[in-house]
Each structure stands twice: as C-alpha cells, then as structure tokens.
Amino acid sequence: MVEIDQAFIQSSEHRPKHNHIDVENIPIIDLSPLASLDDDDTSSNPEKISALVAEIGEACQTWGFFQVTNHGVPPDFRAKMEALAHEFFDQPLEEKRRVRRDEVNPLGYYDGEHTKNVRDWKEVFDYTVVDPMLLPASHVIDDKELRELRNQWPEYPPDFRKACDDYAEEMVKLSHKIMGLISLSLGLPFDRMKGHFNDHTSFVRLNYYPPCPFPHLALGVGRHKDSGALTVLAQDNVGGLQVRRKSDGEWIDVKPTADAYIINVWSNDKYESVEHRVVANTEKGRFSIPFFFNPAHDATIKPMEELIDEQNPVQYKEYNWGKFFATRKLSDFKKLDVENIQVYHFKLAN
C-alpha cells in the first residue's frame, strides 16, 4: 500500500487545491471517418477527413488534450485489460513485488517502497511494447553503450501477458492514426512522422489509485506534463483526471466517456502538452491505462523543417530521445548529478 510520510503531510506545497470547474468541455472527437481509410489513403473521403483534421488541430492548439470515440479499438480489449488489472493489483503485496521494478530494470511493479517521500497515491505496472527495448545505458551524453530492458511478467493472472501484448498492439495502431491526423493538421503528409517510430520505446502503464483517507493532502498523480509524442489514456468510470485549461489556468474535470480514449500531445509549443493531475478518491479505487507513444532511442527530437519560418521559429534545442528517456528512468531510483530532466530544459531563450 502507498504511504505518505510526515514531512509530506506537513508541507502545504503539494496539497491539491480543489477549486476546479466541473464542466464537460474537453473536446470529444468522433474518429468514424477513419473507418473508410484504406492503407492510410485520406483521399477516399476528403470532406469528412478535412473536417476531422480541423477538429484535431483546434483541440491540439487550444487544449493539448481531447477525447476520441469510434476509434476502432475493440471494446473487449479494454474490458479484459481492466479486469486483469483488478486481479493483479488485488493480490497480496509480496506477490506483486515478485515483479517489482528497480534501477537495473525499470519495468514491472512499483508501489513507492524505495522512496521516503511518496507524493503520488498509486501503484503501477509498466511494460514495454517492443521487448526487449533498447535504451542508452546512462544519461552521459558521449556514452554510446546501449542496454536492453525486458518485461517482467507475473505468474498470475495466467493470461495477463497475452492480454497486455494484444492491447499494446491496438494502441500502436490507434496512435499511428492519430499521429497521421495531427500531421495533416500541421500541413504535413499523413505518414510524415511514421518513420520516427520504428523500434519505438513506447510503453504501457497500468495505474491503480487506492481509496485515499486524506485526499486533501495527497494527489493520485501530481501536476505534470507528458514528454513523449503522444499519450493515449483509458480511464474507468470513477474519474479524477483533471487538466489545466491553458486560457485561464483553471483545473477542468475530464469526465469519463464510455469507450473513449483521452489524447495528450506535444509539438514545439504550437501543440503544447498541458498540465494534468489525478485527484484522489476517498471511497473508490480508480484504474487507468496510459499508453506512451515514444520514438526510437536514436531519434533526434527537433521541429520539422517544413514547419519552421520567421513567424514560427524553433522553440527548443534538439536532443536525443534515448538519453532523455534514460535520464528520466534512472532518476526514479537514484539522485543523478543532473536535475530530473524535463522538456522545458531544452527551451531556447527568447
């Protein structure tokens, strides 16, 4: 079980302020026009695709968050994953810790046992889509050595691994579709970004947020921005996810929508990843399944040349994704000689 120490309880800095707005105005976008596409051929239904692309572009620029329905992912894939997640997290702690993650392998189960000051009220299980996944061995820039990260699978539930692999495959398909629509909204070809995700470092996280006895002191997940290309999130009907509206800074509830996936994006500040958090619940446990769509370890992250001009200058220095990702993973387990790296560290001065 997640614990929060006395130092955290005494600190008001991390306490959630519950002055959020309870409205349903996160964009919900119907992806059914994509059902008619044949091998990513967007010319088959130009009017509907054009309207869909306009919706995507507006949502990306205004919110950085949106929900999608009629996305093509079979409902039974998600239902099975949620059921198996319940079974896994309901096990005794000693059973779950048989596959716990550590500094050597940051994949598997985690409940905060190695940290003294847990700020996020949750348990997680991480697994990578490409197994093994290649990452730089360290955060040192001139170190060319690579390491392999391999998934750890529990013995129970017995069909857990198969369901996880099947679900990840569906998430990859959906992510490529959404990335294609985002590319079109930027005036780029549908498949412009596809090549950057060969041998990708994407991973799935199963989140369980236990009922919290003091939600005024803790968050399910503290405020943050995602750093990958795309996050595709499934949440159950308990709710608790909030996004910070860019126009006025207010926290907005993302109410659960049946069979919808929540999308979070980022791109050179034109499509900026928005801050979000999860509010703890006193009565009910909550499950969510984020899929983090990340490029290959050797990808260089920089704005595309087609999108840069005098009116839209480069906002960030280029960086290697693998080094960035490895630094973030290592910082979960030990204090590095650098600050826990964030995308904003590469922001260019105005």
What is the reported pLDDT for 318?
86
The predicted model scores a pTM of 0.84
What is the reported pLDDT for 143?
67
Query: Which of the residue ranges 48-62, 134-148, 178-192 would you say has the lowest mean pLDDT?
Result: 134-148
Mean pLDDT of the chain: 80
- Higher-pLDDT residue of 65, 117: 65
- Higher-pLDDT residue of 347, 111: 111
Please enumerate in sequence order all residues whose Cβ is within 8 A of that of 11, keeping only pairs 6 or more positions apart, or say none: none
- Nearest-angstrom CA–CA distance, 107 and 130: 12
Q: To the nearest whole percent, how much of the chain has pLDDT over 70? A: 77
Q: Name the DSSP letter for residue 50.
A: H
pLDDT average, residue stretch 290-315: 87
Please enumerate in sequence order all residues whose Cβ is within 8 A of that of 12, keeping only pairs 6 or more positions apart, or say none: none
Per the listing, tokens 């750890």 go with 152
Please, what are the domains in the chain?
Answer: 6-300 (2.60.120.330)
- Nearest-angstrom CA–CA distance, 296 and 60: 23
- Nearest-angstrom CA–CA distance, 337 and 195: 33
- Higher-pLDDT residue of 241, 266: 241
